[in-house]
Amino acid sequence: MPNATVNGVEIDYEISGSGVPALFIHGGFGGPGTTLVAQNRNDADLLPADKVMTISYDRRSAGQSEYNLSHYTVADLAADARALLAHLGINRSIIVGSSMGGMVAQQYALDYPQHVEALALINTGTNLMDATPFGPAMQEDVKQAAEVGDRAFFESGKDALRNPPSGRLFTRPTPEAEEQLRQRTEALNAALQVTPDDDLFTYSTGMLRNQGAFIGFDYAPRLSEIKMPVCVVHGNADTVVPFDYGKALHNGIPQSELFEIDGANHGVLGWPDAADAFREWVLRNIATPQAVS
């Protein structure tokens, strides 16, 4: 992947296809699970390469991008995305945010509305750090690390980092996807055993910084300010970000369409019905682009 230093951080990115640009902002919190083994993203396969330029990138402290251990917020993550697109000479684009990336996408749409052609919010919500199954525990980790220090917090949890629990957060839509996940998990577990402590400290602390970036942000009071076309895609069997979060987005955003995917869990674009709905929405909005306000 090529890289660029934008907003003071070195960011790895990838471009495929040509046409209307669409920036994909991935979910998660970075850390060792994203850096030690290759990601299995299929962004480039979702949209027709002759109509859409798909831009994927690793957020700071994730994947192959720079691990920046300073403290930052989701507004900085949105600024990273804007700076990357500016570096690429792209003024307006479709913004696609998945899971935690959906919070970055909402911040982007609020901070840079003149640069957004349309907005896609995929299995996400306005505030994923307060009441989701994972948010409160992550907030407690961030608090503990601040109290005892990053190195002491790392040492206390080092063994758990090297031996993560084997339970699944969510199911995959096909046997092939399940097998891909199994192989990736095996590769990650092997890599964790041989990663030097100093590297593991950097990756895990970067993950903490990403978790901390989202604390205190809730876009519910500002949803009515989002004026561009928006699609919300959410599975009604999502066990990570419950479907009610997607409904709240749709109810709060004036020009939004909600695509409820029956029986789909988190990672909803892996389900064919979700991918088809998303693709149709993108192509419809390409055909009728919005005027610059």
Task: Report the chain's mean pLDDT, rounded to a whole number.
Answer: 94
From the options 3.40.50.720, 3.60.21.10, 3.40.50.300, 3.40.50.1820, give the CATH code of 3-287.
3.40.50.1820
When pLDDT is averaged across residues 150-160 and rounded to a whole number, the result is 96
| Residue 88 reports pLDDT greater than 80 | yes
The closest of 253, 199, 216, 207 to 30, measured between CA atoms, is 207
Task: Check residue 167 and give its pLDDT.
Answer: 67
Q: Which residues of 94-127 are buried (b: 16+ CB within 10 A; e: fewer)?
A: bbbbbbbbbbbbbbbbbebeebbbbbbbbbbbbb
Which tokens is 218 given? 């809730």
Written as one letter, the residue type at 270 is: G
pLDDT greater than 60 at residue 293: no
Q: What is the pTM of this model?
A: 0.95
Mean pLDDT along residues 117-129: 98
Contact (Cβ atoms closer than 8 angstroms) between residue 267 and residue 172: yes
Residue with token string 């995305």: 81
Evaluate whether 224 touches 253 at the Cβ level (below 8 Å). Answer: yes
Q: Which residue has the tokens 């970055």?
A: 104
pLDDT above 90: residue 119: yes
| Percent of the chain residues past pLDDT 90, beyond the cut | 86
Classify 54 in phi/psi space as left (phi over 0), alpha (psi -120 to 50) or beta: beta
The more confidently predicted of residues 164 and 119 is 119
Place 169 in a pLDDT band, splitting at 50, 70 and 90.
low
Please write the tens of the pLDDT for every residue from 213-228.
Answer: 999 999 999 999 999 9
pLDDT range class, residue 292, cuts 50, 70, 90: very low
